[in-house]
Amino acid sequence: MPPLTAIHPSLSFTRAFTSTARFLAKSTKQRLAAEHAEVPPYPYGPSQFYKQSNFGLYGLQKIRYGNIVSKKNEIKTRRHWRPNVQRKRLYSASLGKHIKLRITTKVLRTIDKAGGLDEYLLGEKTQRLKELGMGGWKLRWRIMQTDSVKERFRLERKKLGLPSMEEVHLDENGFGITKEEIMEQVRKYDAAMARNEEVIMDAEAQAATESEILDGDFMAKEQYTERKPIL
């Protein structure tokens, strides 16, 4: 009887089901379209280079590249640095509860300087809006629907001597939308936050991240090891 040949487990076993949640199995583009269907469009669009930053507060940080240089022979070895991303629970005064999200340590320091999460999200400068990304833009829209933030804006207009502005609601396509529809969108958003859904990078984002590490920078095609001639 001929001996049995060894077969790799990955070739002999195929799963007939998946334990991955449906909302996590979507690609990055599909997931963003589903999560931001009821939110006004982000003016700067999603990040194409570090896709997991679309689901948290990363402050424009992404993977950086450089060299490790030995002291003896000055041999250069390519390497990369990932952003220092933490999972934190931050308190929102306007919502009156803690929010669980992914955030970099750089943004944490900026939030401390700004005076809280709400003050950071409500920043009006162009650079702040760029730092928010898709995830921060969605959270900014949510806190702007609260009565406390609306009253704050009303008092600011009154202090500047501006007339009271009639509240007009528009959907993501620029068409009019009723207040009841806005409240329904807010309830859906709060229900998603109540489930404490963690932001997990999907397969497409993971593959894109790995490709960025391998050939994302302009020096990737250079020789990885450079030796100094011995005299």
Number of residues written out for the chain: 231
161 token code pair:
């001597």
Percent of the chain scoring above 70 in pLDDT: 66
The pLDDT value given to residue 200: 41
Task: Decide: residue 138, CB within 10 A, 0-12 exposed, 13-18 middle, 19+ buried.
Answer: buried
How many other CB atoms sit within 10 Å of the CB of residue 197?
13
Asked whether residue 24 carries a pLDDT value surpassing 60, the answer given is no
Q: Which fold has domain 29-160?
A: Ribosomal Protein L24e; Chain: T; (2.30.170)
Give strand pairing partners of 76: 69
pLDDT tens by residue, 133-160: 999 999 999 999 899 998 998 898 888 8
